[in-house]
């Protein structure tokens, strides 16, 4: 922890200190940068970060009400006499300065990790291997950005024996800012891949940028089998760094590894000089092997005896790198976070719990395991945990573990304690859990996923995973194409394109979008009942929905004079005035909307003579914004909209927003963004121009059975799956009732299993499909991806000669949605 006074911080960041005469200097022990995840506490300083999307200065007043007394700002206009302020030129740079200062006070070894993949898993596995003998501080989750790295570094202090910090970059120039903060003694370069490649001219440029992190390191761990290993060796020589290189391909390296895959594990032999070491890892994929080799080599870099750790490699567990949100029993919401267990990650998870509980006014329940290897005496540790639970307004605690059991007297809220998970399972009563948001937080060794299995609503292994971080990335990618003042309306109709309405809407509200849009009023009612408060536009209002529109403060799309008259009659009955509406103009789509100047003028006259309505926006819809061959028609639509919307805009004394751009329009015609844009399929990772979006959805399941099918036998209904040679077939519990189009059967479609694509064989059944796995090593229980990072939704849509919208919206609601969030 930083533990500096306000004036000391001001000196470190070269700031100008402002405070009223009544301000009393205090010791800061916590740094925050996001007002949305801070609920309360003392001894806090807020860095008002500013960027293309958000301006942290706008939340200073809100944070003062929560008790924050010190703010680091870059805009003098926000300074008043109500708190202490440190004025700097750049708040991000100031945060980095403070972190670099804190790092300079830490004399114990620091391991710095960078690369395109594997950073977080290596960090967590090193912690698992070393935590029994060392007190380790590590980056919370994947805090590896320009802000995440300094926040991680600010957590270290002299009570720890080792720090493990990961660093990530997305463009040139970033690593030279992170290097003085991390200053690793030992470096690990995982690999160089295509992630964020759009911002680099070549892989070599990216490599040289990442290597800047290690310029002052004493040792560097890397794989010598890569094509760029000679560049790394030259870098080590130039900077007097001891290379701890390793190989799986018999190259000249300090450590030689050999591996042999078994049914559910990999046997590894490490040869170091004349010494041989054998160990096993409970994984069979190449990436896990590579990560384990990095960990072994790092033990050598730390001058540890490998013999002391060989058995621990067999106990390594998968790392759930993202927090999961899923539906539980009896109207419960489960938030699973088995990633790690420490005070910092607990605070992050509690902020998510409060956010998720608020949307449906759920009881807040935390199931927590013992927190280990913190370096804090247990009584002090659990006193801090008790304080965190109270600050975040938690209603109940369930403690799992002997330490929590022995310190249960510390907790000042409703609580129950069990010495271990098995005791909890024996005493579990299903009916005791209802209408609650339940956070399961703990170290992986406590296997809280088994408690989650008791609490989850659907046991069907077919799931649609929604990566909420990818969704935020996509939202911010589009925001960068817009002016800061341009509003964003996000389309969440049709169950948010199959991704789940409430969870997506809650995240978008958290991200401060301006409007949400639904297709029908019932969708809007569900969002209001879930705690969504931002404006919601109903695109297809019906006469029978007027009651709900009025009762739940929804805003209708007015597309005809008749609809306008009918809605006003409903408003008159309630005596309402200035009710917000949105006027739809048809500029060539020939769907809903006012098409002629006469229709528009008729509506204008009616509204001007009516006190019940207020026009919030006027909009239209592009028919072919994603097709360059239709650009002439699109330009005609822009002109038509400009003419007709001007009639409305000039008829009223107040400001009216205008919007015509959809996702493809934002990408291709940003000059027509006007006051607002409507973001739809782009949010979910589909780009028309090659924009660096991330696919947010992964549809996956598991193999139910593997069988051998002989020559001339057939597979599936109607005997369409003809076998020409002896084959192995995997049966997968997913079919057209789950949303898999039957046309993908008989070899058209495929699934990704164990690193390769396997063709679908035979007709797709209602609840099952079969894969030809003749040349693959596949076993029951193995993961199967229908679409996701390895098979894109766009590819599936192309096979079916349709669009990604249909693929996404076609996923059945019987498929369990699991939400992942870092």
DSSP-assigned letters across all residues of 48-94:
--B-SS-BGGGGHHHHHHTT--EEEES-GGG--SSSEEEE-S-HHHH
Dist. CA 418–CA 467, nearest whole Å? 33
Dist. CA 93–CA 96, nearest whole Å? 5
**Other C-beta atoms within 10 Å of 188: how many?**
30
Dist. CA 247–CA 222, nearest whole Å? 9
Report whether 678 contacts 661 (CB < 8 A): yes
Closest residue by Cα to residue 400 from 427, 371, 421, 381: 421
Report whether 139 contacts 182 (CB < 8 A): no
Residue 312, classed as helix, strand or coil, is helix
User: 388: which 2 tokens?
Assistant: 């965190």
Q: Do strands 70-73 and 84-87 pair parallel, antiparallel, or not at all (unpaired)? A: parallel
Report whether 790 contacts 711 (CB < 8 A): no
Q: How far is CA 715 from CA 254, 309, 466, 774, in A?
A: 51, 48, 32, 14
Decide if 805 is catalytic.
no
Q: Which of 493, 584, 658, 700 is catalytic?
A: 493
Q: How far is CA 670 from CA 117, 191, 319, 483, 639, in A?
A: 33, 36, 40, 9, 15
Dist. CA 595–CA 360, nearest whole Å? 41
Q: Terminal CA-to-CA distance of the chain, rounded, Å?
A: 22
Paired with 594 in beta bridges are: 585
Closest residue by Cα to residue 793 from 737, 741, 747, 736: 741
User: 141: which 2 tokens?
Assistant: 């989750």
Cβ-proximal residues to 487 (8 Å cutoff; 6+ apart), any chain: 514, 515, 657, 659, 675, 676, 677
Dist. CA 579–CA 588, nearest whole Å? 28
591 has binding-site annotation: yes
**H runs (alpha helix) in 302-401:** 310-313, 343-360, 378-391
Closest residue by Cα to residue 382 from 355, 401, 365: 401
Q: Which of 611, 717, 722, 783 is catalytic?
A: 717
Dist. CA 587–CA 554, nearest whole Å? 25
Dist. CA 493–CA 648, nearest whole Å? 27
CA angle 381, 382, 385 (to 5 degrees): 95
User: 311: which 2 tokens?
Assistant: 């058995």
Which residues are known catalytic residues?
Answer: 493, 717
- Residues belonging to the binding site are 591, 766
- Residues belonging to the binding site for substrate are 591, 766
């Amino acid at each position: 922890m930083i533990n500096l006074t306000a004036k000391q911080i001001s000196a470190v960041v070269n700031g100008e200190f402002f405070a009223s005469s009544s301000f009393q200097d205090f010791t800061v022990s916590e740094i925050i940068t996001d007002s949305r995840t801070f609920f309360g506490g003392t001894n806090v300083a807020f860095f008002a970060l500013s960027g293309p999307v958000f301006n942290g200065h706008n939340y200073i007043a809100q944070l003062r009400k929560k008790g924050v007394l010190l703010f680091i700002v870059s805009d003098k206009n926000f300074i008043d006499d109500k708190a202490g302020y440190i004025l700097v030129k750049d708040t991000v740079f100031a945060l980095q300065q403070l972190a670099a200062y804190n790092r300079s006070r830490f004399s114990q070894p620091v391991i710095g990790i960078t690369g395109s993949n594997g950073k977080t898993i290596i960090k967590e596995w090193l912690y698992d291997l070393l935590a029994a003998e060392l007190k380790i501080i590590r980056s919370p989750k994947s805090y590896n950005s320009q802000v995440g790295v300094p926040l991680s570094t600010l957590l270290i202090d002299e009570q720890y024996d080792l720090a493990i910090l990961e660093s990530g970059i997305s463009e040139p120039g970033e690593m030279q800012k992170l290097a003085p903060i991390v200053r690793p003694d030992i470096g690990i370069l995982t690999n160089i891949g295509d992630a964020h490649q759009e911002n680099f001219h070549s892989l070599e440029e990216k490599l040289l940028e990442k290597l800047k992190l290690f310029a002052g390191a004493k040792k560097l761990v890397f794989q010598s089998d890569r094509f760029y290993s000679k560049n790394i060796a030259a870098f080590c020589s130039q900077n007097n760094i001891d290379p701890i290189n390793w190989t799986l391909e018999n190259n000249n390296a300090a450590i030689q590894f050999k591996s042999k895959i078994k049914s559910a594990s990999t046997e590894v032999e490490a040869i170091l000089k004349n010494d041989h070491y054998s160990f096993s890892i409970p994984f069979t994929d190449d990436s896990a092997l590579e990560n384990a080799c990095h960990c072994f080599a790092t033990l050598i870099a730390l001058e540890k005896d490998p013999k002391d750790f060989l058995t621990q490699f067999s106990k390594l567990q998968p790392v759930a790198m993202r927090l999961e949100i899923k539906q539980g029993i009896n109207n419960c919401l489960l938030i699973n976070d088995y990633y790690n267990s420490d005070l910092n990650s607990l605070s992050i998870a509690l902020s998510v719990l409060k956010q998720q509980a608020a949307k449906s006014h759920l009881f807040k329940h935390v199931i927590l395991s013992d927190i280990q290897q913190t370096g804090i005496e247990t009584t002090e540790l659990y006193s801090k945990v008790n304080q965190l639970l109270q600050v975040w307004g938690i209603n109940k605690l369930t403690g799992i573990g002997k330490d929590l059991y022995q310190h249960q007297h510390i907790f000042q809220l409703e609580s129950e304690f069990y010495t271990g998970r098995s005791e909890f399972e024996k005493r579990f009563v299903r009916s005791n859990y209802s209408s609650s948001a339940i956070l399961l937080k703990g170290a992986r060794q406590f296997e809280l996923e088994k408690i989650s299995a008791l609490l989850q609503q659907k046991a069907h292994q077919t799931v649609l995973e929604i990566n909420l971080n990818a969704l935020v990335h996509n939202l911010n990618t589009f925001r960068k194409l817009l002016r800061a003042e341009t509003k964003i309306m996000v389309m969440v109709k049709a169950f948010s394109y199959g991704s789940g309405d409430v969870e997506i809407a809650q995240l978008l509200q958290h991200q401060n979008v301006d409007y949400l849009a639904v297709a029908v009023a019932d969708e809007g009612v569900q969002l209001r009942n879930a705690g969504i408060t931002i404006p919601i536009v109903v695109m297809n209002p019906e006469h029978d929905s007027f009651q709900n529109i009025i009762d739940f403060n929804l805003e209708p799309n007015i597309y005809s004079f008749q609809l306008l008259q009918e809605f006003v009659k409903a408003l008159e009955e309630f005596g309402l005035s200035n009710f917000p509406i949105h006027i739809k103009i048809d500029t060539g789509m020939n769907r809903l909307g006012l098409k002629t100047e006469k229709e528009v003028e008729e509506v204008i006259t009616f509204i001007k003579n009516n006190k019940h309505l207020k026009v919030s926006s006027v909009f239209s819809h592009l028919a072919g914004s994603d097709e360059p061959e239709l650009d002439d028609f699109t330009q005609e639509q822009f002109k038509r909209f400009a003419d007709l919307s001007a009639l409305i805009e000039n008829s009223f004394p107040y400001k009216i927003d205008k919007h015509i751009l959809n996702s493809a329009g934002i990408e291709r015609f940003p000059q027509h963004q006007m006051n607002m844009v409507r973001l739809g399929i782009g949010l979910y990772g589909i780009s028309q121009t090659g924009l660096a979006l991330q696919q947010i959805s992964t549809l996956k399941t598991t193999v139910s059975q593997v069988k051998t099918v002989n020559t001339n036998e057939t597979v599936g209904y109607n005997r369409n799956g003809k076998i020409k040679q002896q084959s192995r077939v995997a049966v997968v519990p997913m079919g057209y009732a789950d949303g898999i189009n039957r046309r993908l059967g008989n070899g058209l479609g495929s699934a990704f299993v164990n690193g390769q694509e396997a063709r679908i064989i035979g007709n797709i059944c209602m609840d099952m499909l079969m894969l030809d796995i003749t040349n693959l090593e596949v076993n029951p229980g193995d993961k199967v991806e229908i679409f996701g990072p390895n098979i894109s939704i766009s590819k599936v849509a192309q096979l079916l000669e349709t669009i990604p919208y249909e693929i996404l919206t076609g996923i059945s609601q019987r498929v369990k949605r699991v939400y992942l969030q870092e």
